[in-house]
Amino acid sequence: MSAHPGRGDNGRVTDPDQLRLLAVHAHPDDESSKGAATMAKYVAEGARVMVATCTGGERGSVLNPAMDRPEVWERMTEIRTHEMAKAREILGIEQEFLGFVDSGLPEGDPLPPLPEGCFALGDLEEQTRELVALIRRERPHVMTTYDEKGGYPHPDHIRCHEVSMAAFEAAGDPDRFPDAGEPWQPLKLYYNTTFHKERLVALHTAMTDRGIESPYGEWLENWVDKPEDAGRVTTRVPCADYFPTRDQALIAHATQVDPNGRWFTCPIDLQQATWPTEDFQLARCLVDTALPEDDLFAGIRETVHS
């Protein structure tokens, strides 16, 4: 018996029938707010889901008033690692830190320079190597990451996109990083697109109709439509049964998430009725599939289980 079920002596994932997903995220907590219900669903169906967390979230602020205490600020890295472990258990996923240092979200005018040694200023080639090594060990069929704008403009999210794209291209190429494991080519890559306008409008309208004050009003009023965002959603994964699991995982990130905050204003049953999917954009695809899709493994499931 191997110490890790489904893994060979070299630590590589070996079960040929298991579908595998690798979600690349910038900070601990991002995995719980972007695609978490999708991950929990695939885990329940028997897939192996790995989250690669690029940074330790060292420069995150405390966004939950109940946790805004000096002893929390002093032990931020340790606490966020612990929170991530809890969320990992709730979602049933595997998770690894890639070991880079949070860049923080620069604020002010002019913006202050990024701190030395941070993820966003690091060497892209070196960072790509770390993710390539993980891909070659985990052998995912599908990857998820953020779009070219990071989903929102945090420098670590943009770098997360760059590293993910570079690693997707390099992992299957025997000439790239030959000492980082046996080549493995993931077949699809998606961007998380859950926070798109159509969904926010639907939730906003549903809450307003039910007499609940929507937290999205101001956000939508200030929304600027960008041509590159039209038609991003190619794939809607039904996962409403796992919305409560997603919320539990989010709450596990206690320093980052206020359980009384706007994340939780919309009742679960209203979300389930109004927008029962998490949504993605298919950005790279090496298999045959027909859009729109409702499954990240469409076009892959058939061959893996053959």
Q: How many CB atoms lie within 10 A of CB 170?
A: 21
- For the CB of residue 14, give the shortest distance to Zn ion in the complex, in Å: 32
- For the CB of residue 91, give the shortest distance to Zn ion in the complex, in Å: 17
Burial class of residue 58, CB neighbours in 10 A (0-12, 13-18, 19+): middle
Beta carbon nearer to Zn ion, 31 or 138: 31
- For the CB of residue 226, give the shortest distance to Zn ion in the complex, in Å: 21
Tell me which DSSP letter residue 112 carries: P
- For the CB of residue 178, give the shortest distance to Zn ion in the complex, in Å: 32
Stretch 24-53: interaction string toward Zn ion, x if CB under 5 A: --xx--x-----------------------
The answer to whether the beta carbons of residues 184 and 135 sit under 8 Å apart is: yes
Beta carbon nearer to Zn ion, 118 or 170: 118
**Binding segment for Zn ion among 18-26, 103-111, 127-135, 207-215 (CB under 5 A)?**
18-26
Beta carbon nearer to Zn ion, 47 or 143: 143
**Binding segment for Zn ion among 7-15, 22-30, 145-153, 219-227 (CB under 5 A)?**
22-30
Beta carbon nearer to Zn ion, 26 or 170: 26
Give the C-alpha separation, 40 to 242, whole Å. 6
Give the C-alpha separation, 177 to 182, whole Å. 10
- For the CB of residue 60, give the shortest distance to Zn ion in the complex, in Å: 8
- For the CB of residue 29, give the shortest distance to Zn ion in the complex, in Å: 7
Count of residues that interact with Zn ion, criterion CB under 5 A: 3
**Binding segment for Zn ion among 23-31, 91-99, 263-271, 284-292 (CB under 5 A)?**
23-31
Q: What amino acid occupies position 262?
A: R
**What are phi and psi for residue 190, nearest 5 degrees?**
-120, 155
Q: Say whether residue 296 binds Zn ion (CB under 5 A).
A: no
- Point out the residue whose Cβ comes nearest to Zn ion: 27
Give the C-alpha separation, 114 to 13, whole Å. 37
Beta carbon nearer to Zn ion, 184 or 219: 219
Beta carbon nearer to Zn ion, 30 or 147: 30
**What are phi and psi for residue 177, nearest 5 degrees?**
45, 60
Q: Which two tokens stand for residue 246?
A: 């997603």
Give the C-alpha separation, 141 to 136, whole Å. 11
Give the C-alpha separation, 206 to 46, whole Å. 34
- For the CB of residue 151, give the shortest distance to Zn ion in the complex, in Å: 9
The answer to whether the beta carbons of residues 22 and 186 sit under 8 Å apart is: yes
Beta carbon nearer to Zn ion, 30 or 293: 30
Q: Where are the alpha helices (DSSP H) in 25-103?
A: 30-33, 36-44, 70-74, 76-91
Place of tokens 């489904």: 6
- For the CB of residue 234, give the shortest distance to Zn ion in the complex, in Å: 23
**Residues forming the site for Zn ion (CB under 5 A):** 26-27, 30
